[in-house]
Amino acid sequence: MGNMNFIQKSNLFSFTATRCLRNEYYHNDCRICIELCPKGAFHIVRNKLTLFENECVGCAGCIGSCPTEALEIESFDPNGYAASFMHQKDSTLSCKVSTPCLGVFDVEHYAVMALRGERSVTCDLSHCESCVLNENGNLKSLICSKIDTTNSFLETLEVAYRIERIDAKEEQTERRALFRKGFEKVKETLVNESVAHISMTAAHHKLPDQKMPLKRVLLKNSLKEIVGNVQTTSFEEKSPLFFNKQIDFQACTNCGDCTQFCPTDALFPTSDKQGIYFSQSKCIGCGICEVICKPKAISAKEGFDLISVAFERAEELVHYEMVTCHECRCPFPYKGGEPICDRCESYTKEFSNMFTMAKDL
């Protein structure tokens, strides 16, 4: 079960360990799906995320929350649904009519549906309160949080469309029977009618060296269409959707660990390997780069630029002149002063007593 190359499946639901942040980097502590799953189907085994298939009910409530799209349900692709939403006659999303649990969608999906459909989207949450999947309240709370984040983003863009909610409570009846009946109906409908967008994410994952989540690609392409009509494209405030980074020139050693472990290639080296670029459009805010950086040279930075996101522009955060160390004769990133690398300098200071001449004793 702990095999990194193993795709675990539970009926229609699947978990791909190789795309999981928790499995990408040993010290990452992403627990979103663990805390969200109403049935406790996810467990940590030998510090790796593992799906216990016999405990999973395939509700799809966790899918939209996975930042790297490691979770999928075979009968419904939220990316394909969002991309084709403009062709849907009904703008209402409901787990009893057209979709699985609305937890299948992320902020990017809601934004894409509003922007591409050029209309407001209505989420029917009237039965969430009494749903068996929402026993601890986490699922509805997260769906509402995503809707609020999307509306804040749409307001920033100054577009008229919003993600609206239907919150009226329904009669409390046999909740488990209601859920089973509703899910089976949706599953049957989706299998019969949504073939066009079932395999969109699967096809994206098969592309060579494609690490960027498809939901980010869809949002980026949607922004291309409207960014020319947005009055302000550069913002100084922190965004829950787009992330920014900075690198301290003096602290950075240009070791390359941050570029090697970035799961989406948001950080990548310059062609001469003497600098580091950063792409806001690809960053998912996982924080791996900040944790792995030994000298703590990388840190989060406020502000985001819509044009950089839409057109995938990268910014060079740091660049060094490589010179040869006078002690070990190895190249190192020069930052001024004596041409001696940090390793030789620290070694000389720590073990200076070993180089004391006999005449000086």
Would you state the pLDDT for residue 173?
45
The pLDDT tens digits along the chain (361 residues) read 344 446 887 768 899 998 999 887 888 889 999 999 999 999 999 888 999 999 999 899 999 999 999 999 888 999 999 999 999 889 999 998 889 999 999 999 999 999 999 999 999 999 898 899 998 899 999 999 999 999 999 999 999 999 999 987 654 444 445 455 545 554 554 444 444 455 788 888 888 777 899 999 999 999 999 998 888 899 998 899 999 999 999 899 888 999 999 999 999 999 988 999 999 999 999 999 999 999 999 999 999 999 999 999 999 999 988 888 888 888 888 888 888 887 787 776 666 666 554 555 5
Can you list the domains of the chain with their CATH numbers? 7-221 (no CATH), 232-319 (3.30.70.20), 322-360 (no CATH)
> What is the pLDDT, as a whole number, of residue 180?
52
The span from the CA of 227 to the CA of 300, in Å, is 25
If we measure between CA atoms, which residue out of 120, 155, 168, 316 comes closest to residue 237?
155
Backbone φ and ψ for 351, nearest 5 degrees, come out as: -120, 30
